[in-house]
Structure 1
Amino acid sequence: MVKSPVKNKINLVFIPVSDVEKAKQWYAKILGIQDGEVHFGHLFAAGMDEGSGMILDTMPMWRDENGKLPTLNVPAIQFGTEDVHASYQFMKENGVELVTEIQHGQFFVFKDPDGNMLMVCED
């Protein structure tokens, strides 16, 4: 078998957002992001503590013919936690739209303000 030149490593995840400044503030509050940089006026490279990087992007190139933003309609991105119950309560207290209750004592799904479905799972 020929070895692939593509690494088996995820560098970044992109999350589509309608307003990069509002999204930056919301994700900072929910994930405790302390820093990052806005690039090209439409994306925010979040300063993540560990794991893959995260980009919040208004995705001007990927909008449909009506200018509609694509969203993640399944929980394709998972954030870790050491306490799923405390994380669920934190989201609830901060008015985050919760899609599921805690499942199997391990994870739950929520939506960001743009309707992207995301997951929190206990490490």
Structure 2
Amino acid sequence: MTMSSPIENRIGQVFIPVRDMARSARWYSRLLGLAESEPSHDGTIYDLQTAGETRLALDASRPEFDTSGPPRFFFWTTDMVATVAFLQDHGVTLDSDVEDIGSVMFLQFRDPDGNPLMVCQRTRR
């Protein structure tokens, strides 16, 4: 049975809490291969261009936050070996080895504020 709801079943934007907007904007821009731009909302929001409908923003409006818990979303990759090398070359803190769970391989890592992140690659089985 399908239930009716006025809330759409799709994600509009993901906000990542950060403490130092300039540092985080540089880090995420480099991570995603993007040119840096200017933050908005008096320097507290930084929109990162993403492919697809879901948007990604850095949010420095509340500098006190807890980074515990699992990653809340993941980035896709088509080359996990190159991704691991890229992250290591850029001194990114890796929280796990690459794990293969059948349908995807994934790796967990952290941003400069300690936010848990993940990258996944689909596997062909």
Q: Do they fold alike, i.e. is TM over 0.5?
A: yes
**Aligned partner of 2:66 among 43, 67, 70:** 70
> Which ranges of 4 or more aligned residues in structure 1 deviate by more than 6 Å?
none
Stretch moving more, 88-97 or 49-58: 49-58
TM-score for the superposition, normalised by structure 1: 0.85
Measure how far apart 1:59 and its partner are.
3.0
CA contact (8 A) 2:25 2:36 kept: no
How many pairs align? 117
Q: Which amino acid aligns with 2:50?
A: M
**Pairing 1:1-123 to 2, within 5 Å after superposition:** 3-34=4-35, 37-40=38-41, 41-60=43-62, 68-71=64-67, 73-104=69-100, 106-123=105-122
Q: Which amino acid aligns with 1:4?
A: S
Gaps of 5+ in 1: none
> How far, CA to CA, are the matches of 2:40 and 2:70 in structure 1?
27
Gaps of 5+ in 2: none
> How far, CA to CA, are the matches of 1:73 and 1:56 in structure 2?
18
Structure 1 residues 99 and 2: CA distance shift in structure 2, 3 A: closer
1:36-67: CA deviation from partner (whole Å, max 9, x where unpaired): 5522120101111335110100132xx5xxxx
Q: Which amino acid aligns with 2:19?
A: S
> How far, CA to CA, are the matches of 2:17 and 2:55 in structure 1?
14
Q: Which amino acid aligns with 2:72?
A: A
Structure 1 residues 3 and 24: CA distance shift in structure 2, 3 A: same
CA contact (8 A) 2:26 2:36 kept: no
TM-score for the superposition, normalised by structure 2: 0.84
> How far, CA to CA, are the matches of 2:3 and 2:88 in structure 1?
49
